[in-house]
Amino acid sequence: MGWLEEHVIALTGGGSGLGRALVDAFVEEGARVAVLEYSPAKAATLAAETDPARVVVVTGDVTTFAANAALVAAAVERWGRLDSFVANAGLWDFGKTLADTAPDDLARGFDALYAVNVKAPLLGAKAALDALRASEGSVIVTLSNSALYPGGGGPLYVSSKHAGVGLVKQLAYELAPDVRVNAVAPGGMLSDLRGPAELGLADTSVGTDS
């Protein structure tokens, strides 16, 4: 028996990096995991490398309510319940400073980062709310040490993670006592975390960035 035996989890951004590590850890502890992944190639690899009795993969855009709802529906249809929603998908700005970012890029980058780092957890929590109330479950948002301190990115990333703290606090306030809402703030790690296409960073990952 693992710590999460028969626990049903919906997780976003599980195709690589921290998300993939979480999928593997959850499964090892006995959980069943529905994963939302943006990249069709990563989604296919994840599906091929995991036990279909334990992992179901949905391909979609985490910044849309429809994709989050499809993720929750996949978990509930497959296993009859949802115990946790883990909002893990994220983008980084690779430390682009205010002074070095053109005004148009700043505006487009803001929209892109906030869509993934702030709007997506909000939409995911909304999509999962009824199922989590039924199970008295939990929401966990992956933030960053940049949610607590400056210097872990540029103003777009750092402010988005600080916004995530506010979102977690408000949702914890609103959804108590039926649904617990918490966050984790990991430090930096080498992974396939990427930046927004609007800043020319869609093909740049933390693990390969020099």
Q: Report, as residue numbers or ranges, the catalytic residues.
A: 157
Cα distance between residue 23 and residue 37, in whole Å: 12
Distances (CA, A) of 76 to 29, 41, 83, 85, 136: 20, 24, 10, 12, 14
- Closest by CA to 13, choosing from 207, 146, 192, is 192
Query: Looking at residue 198, what DSSP letter applies?
Result: G
Distances (CA, A) of 65 to 5, 61, 85: 29, 9, 14
Q: Are 157 and 146 in contact (CB under 8 A)?
A: yes
Q: Are 147 and 89 in contact (CB under 8 A)?
A: no
Distances (CA, A) of 107 to 102, 110, 193, 209: 9, 5, 21, 23
